[in-house]
Structure 1
Amino acid sequence: MALQVIPQIANLRARLAQEDSIAFVPTMGNLHAGHIHLVELARQRAECVVASIFVNPLQFGANEDLANYPRTLAEDCEKLQAAGADIVFTPSVEEMYPTEQTMRITPPPIANELCGAARPGHFDGVATVVMKLFSIVQPQIAVFGKKDFQQLFIIRELVRQFNLPIEIVAGETQREHSGLALSSRNGYLNDGQKLEAQRLYRTLKLIVDNVQKGNRDYAAIEAQSSQYLTQLGWIVDYVSIRSAATLMPASPDDRDLVALAAARQGSTRLIDNIEFSV
């Protein structure tokens, strides 16, 4: 069955009125194998799979790459068709925000740490657009990737605190053979930067190995890892060991942990994480 491309909210709602089993995969387009993995997970969980492609201006800061964000709708639709999606929702900014969006979702304070510290207001924009998309699509299941671990945590809180009848399914991070996490922003890297970008994942693996061997001086591990990357020319936003359950800084009593990092190669900001237990 051909993929249906629907840009209007009213038309999408009319089309979905006949469906009672909907899985939803929100994206900003420029799709790669990581996104397609999420669509395939959705395909396993519901009769009707809806993806959205919307570059959300609310989550971009003043000096971020909104205007230059890659828009590849034709190629994206081919990939969604091949992955088994039924519908792609492709609203314009005017369709999603017909008037100024003065009503916003304010996430909990954790949104101001980690990625939120370097991107103030980012998660307000994410939470607001996700709430709007959930309201429009009204899925029973929504699928998000673990690569954006903080985003996944905040969306789970959104669903829990607003009692939304939506199951959040988390897709594992998809990687290149080198270990580099797939990301739309990898396309900004030149050959040398892409080779160096593998080091972010390797650094996280070293952190995991260090902790699992018994080192609980998390602050020292974080500082050493950050210094290591900085000496190699990275611009480091953070390296952090957190509780996987709360995203608060890990204590020696925590057993389920996540090591997270965000750093820049040139002007390209890369993020990654590894969940692990001790």
Structure 2
Amino acid sequence: MNNNRTLHDAARLALACLDLTSLNDADTAADIEALCRRAQTAHGPVAAVCVWPRFVAQARAALPAGIRVAAVANFPEGEVDLTRAVADIELIALGGGDEVDVVLPYRALMEGRRDEVAEFLSEVREASRPLVLKVIIESGELKTAELVAEATRMALAAGADFVKTSTGKTPVSATLQAAGVMLKTIEASGMRHAGFKASGGIRTVADAREYLQLAEAWLGEAALNPRRLRIGASGLLNDIEAVLGGGAGSVEPGSY
């Protein structure tokens, strides 16, 4: 594992794996236009933009083919609402989207309604093909490592391409502890294509570097690319650009 990765190197990798996100209730077409401009930085493009389903067609038209368009389904509540989730997925596909970030019904899982959760995930996987499917387990609400691992296993068993930590809409979003459990579970599954997405509360390159190092520890250096690793954030790009531009972004520990 490369524990000596510089902030500059981490910033470049984080940029390449970034899902630049805008999921505010009051988002407008002008906000999405600005987001798509931000996605094409002087230091290179982000991996994807992530928006509400209603903005997918606009984002797809505004972006080059190399930047993927993701949108959310069953978001952020994560209820057992297959009708809503499939409607969201259909809108995403119709708009030319590439990826779906769907919320696993985590409350149902916590209540022991495992069959309902498994059926929901199976139906969502079928409805979303051939789009990339990221399943959000809302790790901060699951509370225990056992539930985080179980949610991760269920997502993978249903055919998820990525397992994602959080919606970013709950009091606790991504944590290194939950990420470690998820990554260990992905590695143990033997599904060499499956990826990991950390999302929620990651605002600096120094923060992102910790997740990069953790992902490398469990999945190996070959997984450090946008096909298997994503970071979902809205504010992180500011710090990435500051670091890559030589400005006053994140600083190395002990350098101040």
TM-score using structure 2 length: 0.30
Structure having the higher Rg: 1
Q: Which has the higher helix share?
A: 2
Higher strand share: 1
